[in-house]
Amino acid sequence: MGAAAHWNTLPEQLLDLAKQTGAEAAEVFQSSSSAHPVFFEANRLKQLESNNLEGTALRLWREGRPGIAVAHGPIAPQALVDKAIAISQLNEPEAIELNEGTAQRFPDMGQTVTVAQMIEWGNTAIALIRDQYPDVICEAELECDTEVTRFVNSRGLDYGYSDTTLSSYLGVEWVRGDDFLSVGDGQVKRNALSPEALAQQILKRLAWADRNVAPVVGRVPVLFTAKAADILWGTVQAALSGKRVLEGSSPWSDRLGEKVTSAALTLYQDPDTGPFSCPFDDEGTPTQKLTFIDQGVLRLFYTDRTVGKELGGGSTGNGFRPGLGSAPTPGLFNTLVAPGQLTFTELVQQLDDAIVVDQILGETAGISGDFSINIDLGYRVRRGEIQGRVKDTMVSGNVYTALMNLQAMGRDADWNGACFTPSVLLAALSVTGARS
């Protein structure tokens, strides 16, 4: 079946073999990652790990029929080509959408840090928490992850780059008699983490949750912290997909140029910003800065080559693979929500009687926008001050309706996964819970 190929020359071998086997076109997507996670449990270092993964996806077309084959680790090139050819025979012919190009190595992004540095950061964050709350139990995970991506096709395109990201998560458990409190927060950055900033986020929440209070119920203002606001943006991201437009499942399919949210919302992507920046998509199309919603007005849907062609505007550089074994489909590499002018404290001071949502339980909203979530960690605001933690409380509503009534954004934007979002104040959602 052929000897195992060297990683660096594998794409060229696969393209040559695919051509010899009768394929009209082919592409190779390579991804390798090296991660070094550090785990803390019960306030102290518990475990170190080292993970290395390599994966190669070959997609080819013979007689116009697409076939995808994936392999991990040592690869026999001919076997992978034969598998892709066999799979292609099961599929219907399709238009071949490949970019033409040349060889280009994009600048590598991020810097690695040592395991010793991550251990120091973890110890620092935990020490800062327990200095003020000696009875809490902390757990933490810190990781340095380097991913190398290379994309090569039969039309001369050969792109590659490496991306190093640092991430940390800090969780705190506080048992007070029969009351159990769990608080967590994290960071994703390049080059360096800030254990002090992460610890301060946790300490602030522990202070807010120092006592339990009854929630306000009914239709009331709800302030989502930056950490919790992602429940809103998942629905928005789905509605902005060009694929959803073609399927007719996006409620915004025919609303380009119209107001779809409050003017307080501007949402965009930027390939040069943050730990989830990206120079090209999984079809070899350069990514670009794009504004999807501009002060409430819908400006653009994101597409890959196939969807962009059907919609008539071409690819926006957003063709990404959900997994190595999948063909590219419209996706986002990062999403940025423009922050507002007010600090989180200033937003709270505007509220007479309201709920702050900080951590949630349950399913997030889908494309319909309807949601009903239990508040895992939230607080009541009265007369501009946080009074304490609310328990056994639920918030429900519809994302699209809520965003039309969006009152303000905080200026406290931070990365929550691949979304850069500030805190979000919504005029009124339905809140249910025990009054006493």
Distance CA 249, CA 261 (A): 18
* Mean pLDDT across 289-300: 98
**Torsion angle (degrees, nearest 10) of CA 14, 20, 25, 31:** 0
222 phi and psi, to 5 degrees? -130, 130
* Mean pLDDT across 419-431: 96
pLDDT at 8: 86
pLDDT at 4: 56
Q: Is the pLDDT of residue 143 over 70?
A: yes
Buried b (16+ CB within 10 A) or exposed e, 387-410: bebbbebbbebebbebbbebbbbb
Distance CA 230, CA 423 (A): 10
Q: Is the pLDDT of residue 2 over 70?
A: no
pLDDT at 226: 95
pLDDT digits (tens, 9 = 90+) for 344-357: 999 999 999 999 99
Distance CA 386, CA 348 (A): 8
Q: Which helix H or strand E contains 118, and what residues bound it?
A: helix 115-132
CB 72 within 8 A of CB 58: no
Percentage with pLDDT > 70 across the chain: 98
> SS3 of 321, please?
coil
Q: How many other C-beta atoms are found inside a 10 Å radius of the C-beta of residue 382?
A: 14
Instruction: Indicate the pTM of the whole model.
Output: 0.94
Q: Is the pLDDT of residue 117 over 70?
A: yes
Q: Is the pLDDT of residue 152 over 80?
A: yes
Percentage with pLDDT > 90 across the chain: 93
Residues 6+ apart with CB under 8 A from 10: 28, 30, 56, 75, 77
How is residue 185 written in tokens? 């927060």
Rg (CA), the chain: 24
Per-residue pLDDT band at 246 (split at 50, 70, 90): very high
pLDDT higher for 49 or 4?
Answer: 49
Q: Is the pLDDT of residue 364 over 80?
A: no
* Mean pLDDT across 284-295: 97
pLDDT digits (tens, 9 = 90+) for 48-58: 999 999 999 99
Q: Is the pLDDT of residue 436 over 70?
A: no
pLDDT at 177: 86
Question: Mean pLDDT, the chain, as a whole number?
Answer: 95
Distance CA 327, CA 340 (A): 38
Q: Is the pLDDT of residue 74 over 90?
A: no
Distance CA 280, CA 103 (A): 13
* Mean pLDDT across 323-343: 96
pLDDT at 434: 73
pLDDT digits (tens, 9 = 90+) for 164-186: 999 999 999 999 888 999 999 99
Per-residue pLDDT band at 5 (split at 50, 70, 90): low
pLDDT at 435: 65
Residue 56: exposure state from Cβ atoms within 10 A (0-12, 13-18, ≥19): buried
Per-residue pLDDT band at 37 (split at 50, 70, 90): very high
Per-residue pLDDT band at 1 (split at 50, 70, 90): very low
* Mean pLDDT across 419-433: 95
pLDDT digits (tens, 9 = 90+) for 247-280: 999 999 999 999 999 999 999 999 999 999 999 9
